[in-house]
């Protein structure tokens, strides 16, 4: 499938730039503003601005006091960055809740569902789980494609 890995890498690198100014929920908005000043391209700005809680609806943005707009994630690259962000949280958890990256992927759903600081709330949790399932399915599909065909 078509996937812009450079965008995934750059989006991952820049997504939390706003934390240089604030660790509050506005860090997505602040990061995107900084990104505009740095001349970053729109797809990276989108990742920076929309990564909060995995892509808020306009209604949720209103509730959280953020500029009212639809932050829904539109691209696979955006969803990969968000899934990876949660995985890194789990892998680097100071309580060492997993002992390997593989364990973090395998227990992703259980860990998010049982840790409010990761799952946040029901709608956010649902988004994170959806992205994780999508990415895992793509990884499985890709590894199946690479299996050598059997010689009859
Ligand atoms: Fe963030």
Contact (CB, 8 A) for 50 and 71: yes
DSSP code, position 149? P
Task: Please state the rounded mean pLDDT for residues 130-135.
Answer: 96
Q: Is the pLDDT of residue 25 over 90?
A: yes
Q: What are phi and psi of 138, to 5 degrees?
A: -65, -40
pLDDT category of residue 102 using cuts at 50, 70 and 90: very high
Task: Report the separation in Å between the CA atom of 82 and the middle of ligand 1, taken as the mean of its atom positions.
Answer: 9
Task: Report the separation in Å between the CA atom of 27 and the middle of ligand 1, taken as the mean of its atom positions.
Answer: 7
Task: Report the separation in Å between the CA atom of 60 and the middle of ligand 1, taken as the mean of its atom positions.
Answer: 17
Q: Between 117 and 109, whose confidence is greater?
A: 109
The structure tokens 């840790």 sit at 115
- pLDDT at residue 116, as a whole number: 85
Task: Report the separation in Å between the CA atom of 143 and the middle of ligand 1, taken as the mean of its atom positions.
Answer: 30
DSSP code, position 87? H
Output the six-digit token pair for 45: 């700005």
Give the predicted TM-score (pTM) of the model: 0.90
Output the six-digit token pair for 142: 């890709």
pLDDT tens figures, 41-54: 999 999 999 999 99
CA distance 57 to 70: 5
Task: Report the separation in Å between the CA atom of 46 and the middle of ligand 1, taken as the mean of its atom positions.
Answer: 13
Output the six-digit token pair for 8: 């995934």
Q: Where are the domains of the chain?
A: 5-144
Give the contacts of 33 (CB within 8 A, at least 6 positions apart). Answer: 18
Spatial CA neighbour of 47 closest among 68, 73, 25: 73
CA distance 21 to 94: 24
pLDDT tens figures, 60-86: 999 999 999 999 999 999 999 999 999
């Amino acid at each position: 499938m078509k996937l812009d890995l450079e965008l995934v890498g750059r989006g991952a690198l820049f997504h939390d730039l706003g934390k240089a100014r604030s660790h509050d929920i506005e860090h997505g908005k602040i990061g995107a503003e900084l990104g505009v000043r740095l001349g970053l391209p729109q797809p990276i700005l989108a990742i920076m601005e929309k990564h909060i809680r995995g892509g808020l609806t306009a209604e949720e943005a209103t509730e959280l006091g953020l500029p009212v707009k639809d932050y829904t994630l539109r691209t696979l690259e955006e969803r990969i960055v968000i899934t990876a962000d949660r995985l890194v949280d789990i892998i680097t958890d100071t309580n060492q809740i997993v002992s390997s990256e593989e364990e973090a992927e395998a227990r992703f759903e259980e860990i998010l569902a049982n840790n409010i600081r990761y799952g946040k709330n029901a709608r956010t949790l649902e988004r994170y789980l959806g992205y994780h399932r999508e990415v895992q399915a793509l990884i499985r599909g890709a590894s199946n494609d690479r299996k050598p065909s059997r010689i009859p």
